[in-house]
Amino acid sequence: DTGVSQDPRHKITKRGQNVTFRCDPISEHNRLYWYRQTLGQGPEFLTYFQNEAQLEKSRLLSDRFSAERPKGSFSTLEIQRTEQGDSAMYLCASSPQTGNEQYFGPGTRLTVT
């Protein structure tokens, strides 16, 4: 297993368009997290799944954001009607049921023009 993977690595979109990102966690990791990171800041939590259930959502996750993990494996994060303020690195992380470490993927860098 090569770790957490994310696709695409880079996305440039125009304001108002919808974008969708994919995260494939480490196999058998039942916990999956999405974070957003802007320049000079630490990652900010967006949402958390345990298996297919979305158990936590940050108030940062506005109505334009939606995340799914339909089969408890990969996850998608969709942003509708993108705004320039959505420009950031979107990080996915996973962790096993037992264990404290969260393993991060390489991220998807979103640029909204």
Residues forming contacts to other proteins in the complex (CB under 8 A) are 4, 31, 33, 35, 40-45, 48, 50, 55-56, 58, 91, 95, 97, 100-107
Question: Cβ 47 to other proteins, closest distance in Å?
Answer: 8
* Cα–Cα distance, 73 to 27 (Å, whole number): 8
Question: Cβ 81 to other proteins, closest distance in Å?
Answer: 25
Nearer to other proteins, 18 or 105 (CB): 105
- In which region does residue 52 sit, left (phi positive, over 0), alpha (psi from -120 to 50) or beta (all else)? alpha
Cβ atoms 45, 107 nearer than 8 A: no
Question: Cβ 101 to other proteins, closest distance in Å?
Answer: 5
Q: Which residues contact 5 (CB under 8 A, 6 or more apart)?
A: 23, 24, 105, 106
